[in-house]
Amino acid sequence: MTDLTYTHPTSNSYALYELAKQVIPGGVQGNIKYYDPYPLSFASAKGAWLKDVDDHDYVDYLLSFGALILGHGHSVVKQAVEEVWDTYGTSSFGVPYPLELTMGKKIKSLYPSIQQVRFTNSGLEATLLAIRLGMAYTEKSSIAKFAGHYHGGHEQVLVSTQPIINDGTHPRQVSESRGLPDYYLDHTIVLPFNDTETSERILRENQDRIGVVILEPLQSGYIPANPQFLQHLRRVTKELGMVLIFDEVKTGFRVRLGGAQELYDIQPDLTSLGKVLGGGFPIGAVGGRKDILEMTAPRPNAPHDVVFHSGTFNGNPMSLLSGLRTIEFLQDGDHYGMLLKMTENLRQEVERLGKRYGLPIKTVGEGSIFNLVFVNEQEGNGARPWDIVAAEQSADHRRLRGQLDFLLMEHGVFSKPYNRFSLSLAHDEKAIQHTLDAFEKSFAALIKRG
């Protein structure tokens, strides 16, 4: 437990949490959904708003960890669900049908690096398949990942997911779970994000082992890469014959419609997608070079000489059509431009309010995702976006950010404490003004606390 607690009544959430712990380990369906002293429980959602079981309303900036780019219950998604029943008459074929081709073509049109695509049911499955493909293609048994980058809860990448402050040394391999065989620690090389010299040195030292390099092009979805770092990484991985994977589960369709690779104008060998792609339904996808993806193609005469991939619900109509209609809506008119402009305006106003109250607030992110960091400008923390990790790990940031998040909840703004903020097209003027009012009240309360 911490000294953080709710400043508004949440007794029903607490009671449900205590009951849930008797049936669900830890009371949550996923460890990242927990936070001290207990997570709020919600009763309903609409548009940009959530209602908790204590009847409090919140503007929602978690949005199912960024998946709901149109907001809760958007008419486009509702109509897509009805269209599935009217057109296909089933929620799952389990066999090929035309919509798989249609969605594949849509993804290819937005991501020039993607020549072929396979669908999965989650971002976790997508990164798992991408890594398997890369290792099969290069015939090497080790991968490289970056400290602080999260690629789902499977063994190969559940290593060193906590951020580090780069110091020019080789980051340690740290197991993030009990039950991980030593094999995965031994075959996962950890690199420092945005450190060009050290990363290249480690890759060259291990070039006989490493077949795959995977990263979030924006760490945690909001900490940007130094563009020169990414460009250099692309050149080095090509030279060394390593498959470069962009994990765009968080950033795909959010920082740009074509993801971070559109923002940075870099083409990875493979891309993992998820979240927004399903329009609010479970989905994942792996896309990339045809010569790599073709390794999953069935070979009846040599069934074991392929990269195995399957799944009953892969490419199911609910996920594909909801996602397709979501993407089409984002492309229609100036909807996507409005979303990016709204996000930028909100960031500017939050920073302006922070400055008015003398709080060292910096917003960090791209597109429709950002986060808030308390920085110490005198020490240089946060002078560059890619150095923001140092500020985030300071005791002052953790203390102030924790207090701010709970104050925001009291005033009707929700994002899981310490989490990034994601916006949707449902965040209208009323929701934004409510948000700014909540920030002003919360900043004032922080100052009053000293």
Q: Please list the pLDDT of the chain residue by residue as tens digits (450 residues).
A: 357 889 899 999 999 999 999 999 999 999 999 999 999 999 999 999 999 999 999 999 999 999 999 999 999 999 999 999 999 999 999 999 999 999 999 999 999 999 999 999 999 999 999 999 999 999 999 999 999 999 999 999 999 998 888 777 889 999 999 999 999 999 999 999 999 999 999 999 999 999 999 999 999 999 999 999 999 999 999 999 999 999 999 999 999 999 999 999 999 999 999 999 999 999 999 999 999 999 999 998 888 899 999 999 999 999 999 999 999 999 999 999 999 999 999 999 999 999 999 998 999 999 999 999 998 765 444 446 556 887 888 888 889 999 999 999 999 999 999 999 999 999 999 999 999 999 999 999 999 987
| pLDDT at res. 385 | 58
Distant-in-sequence contacts of 418-421, Cβ < 8 A, 24+ apart: 418/35, 419/62, 419/65, 419/371, 420/66, 420/220, 420/221, 420/222, 420/365, 420/369, 420/370, 420/371, 421/61, 421/365, 421/369, 421/370, 421/371, 421/372
| pLDDT at res. 378 | 52
Give just the sign of the alpha carbon dihedral 330, 331, 332, 335. positive
User: What are the backbone angles phi and psi of residue 94, rounded to the nearest 5°?
Assistant: 75, 5
Structure-token match 């100052």, residue found: 447
Q: How far is residue 70's CA from residue 368's CA, in Å, rounded to a whole number?
A: 12
Nearest to 276 by CA among 127, 58, 64, 432: 64
Domains of the chain and any CATH numbers: 42-73+335-449 (3.90.1150.10), 75-331 (3.40.640.10)
Name 54's Cβ contacts closer than 8 Å, sequence gap at least 6. 9, 10, 11, 12, 13
pLDDT digits (tens, 9 = 90+) for 430-447: 999 999 999 999 999 999
Separation of first and last alpha carbons in the chain: 23
| pLDDT at res. 7 | 87
| pLDDT at res. 439 | 98
Q: How far is residue 419's CA from residue 3's CA, in Å, rounded to a whole number?
A: 18
| pLDDT at res. 393 | 80
| pLDDT at res. 1 | 37
The two three-digit tokens of residue 125, written as one number: 């499955």
pLDDT digits (tens, 9 = 90+) for 216-244: 999 999 999 999 999 999 999 999 999 99
Q: What is the pTM for the complete model shown?
A: 0.95
